[in-house]
């Protein structure tokens, strides 16, 4: 038996509240970031973590599990529990940690919920710009209180494409995509926060998005946002996407096909 509409709405409302509270909490660390002790995750000199990431995730986990103790939780910093639960929360407490630690405003809090195997809630909060991007399956996508719609362009030349990349994938994968995009007269943006970049696609600021490999906690919130804003995506959860990550491609139906063609180039 799937979740009722009321149960989904309750989780959606809570996700918005928790994302805002977590982002405000993260902002207090950001304003005192020089005092944070920074660690590098094993095997990746660019993958940073600090007390802020862990404490923000703890806040999110506590609020969600207090309200819905039977739900599962998968966080970037603390891992997962009850992954087989009907509703699984998938969280990145601070996406764009390198930006966060270096005083750049391109970081965010990302919260998603996978309900009965389907990404159904997506919330991304950017406290520096006071923007809350939020969506729930069947309810549309919103920036604060204003409905969002993906860019309506028919060609990649009509807007900027968001990209992201990680050391998990050979550089030639993203380099080849960028070369093909530029050859077609397109342009690209890389902000340092893949999740926030996906939110910009949902808001129509960017025409599309591509990353060769993205973790679920970075990808799923934006995937829901874009789908509810009238866009499409690849099947991110295919195979072992939830646990191991996958490529992510986003855009309106026409743009999605063009991004896929370049990615497959």
DSSP element (H, E) containing 6: helix 5-30
Q: Is 126 annotated as a binding residue?
A: no
72-76, Cβ contacts within 8 angstroms, sequence gap of 24 or more: 74/216, 74/217, 74/242, 75/217, 76/215, 76/217, 76/218
**Secondary structure element (H or E) that encloses residue 153, with its range:** none
Q: Annotation-wise, does 94 bind a ligand?
A: yes
DSSP 82: -
Instruction: Confirm whether residue 218 is marked as ligand binding.
Output: yes
d(CA 224, CA 202): 9
Rounded CA-CA distance 124/131 in Å is 8
> Residue 92, annotated ligand binder?
yes
71 appears as a binding residue in the annotation: no
Between CA 237 and CA 226 the distance in angstroms is: 16
* Binding residue ranges: 76, 92, 94-95, 218
List binding-site positions for Mg(2+). Answer: 76, 92, 94-95, 218
């Amino acid at each position: 038996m799937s979740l009722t509409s009321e149960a989904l709405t309750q989780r959606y409302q809570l996700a918005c509240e928790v994302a805002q509270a977590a982002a405000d909490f993260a902002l207090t660390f950001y304003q005192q970031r020089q005092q944070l002790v920074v660690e590098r995750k094993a095997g990746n000199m660019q993958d940073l973590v600090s007390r802020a990431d862990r404490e923000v995730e703890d806040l999110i986990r506590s609020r969600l599990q207090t309200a819905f103790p039977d739900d599962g939780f998968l966080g970037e910093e603390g891992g997962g529990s009850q992954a087989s639960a009907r509703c699984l929360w998938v969280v990145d407490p601070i996406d764009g940690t390198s930006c966060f630690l270096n005083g750049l405003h391109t970081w965010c809090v990302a919260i998603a919920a996978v309900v009965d195997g389907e990404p159904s809630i997506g919330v991304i909060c950017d406290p520096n710009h006071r923007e809350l991007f939020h969506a729930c399956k069947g309810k549309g996508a919103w920036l604060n209180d204003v409905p969002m719609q993906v860019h309506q362009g028919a060609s990649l030349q009509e807007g900027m494409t968001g990209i992201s990349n990680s050391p998990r994938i050979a550089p030639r994968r993203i380099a080849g995509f960028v070369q093909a995009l530029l050859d077609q007269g397109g342009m690209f943006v890389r902000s340092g926060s893949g999740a926030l970049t996906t939110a910009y696609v949902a808001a129509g600021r960017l025409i599309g998005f591509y990353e060769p490999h993205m973790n679920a906690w970075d990808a799923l919130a934006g995937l829901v946002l874009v789908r509810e804003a009238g866009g499409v995506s690849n099947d991110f959860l295919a195979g072992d996407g939830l646990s191991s990550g996958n490529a992510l491609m986003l855009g309106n139906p026409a743009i999605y096909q063009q991004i896929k063609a370049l990615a497959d180039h």
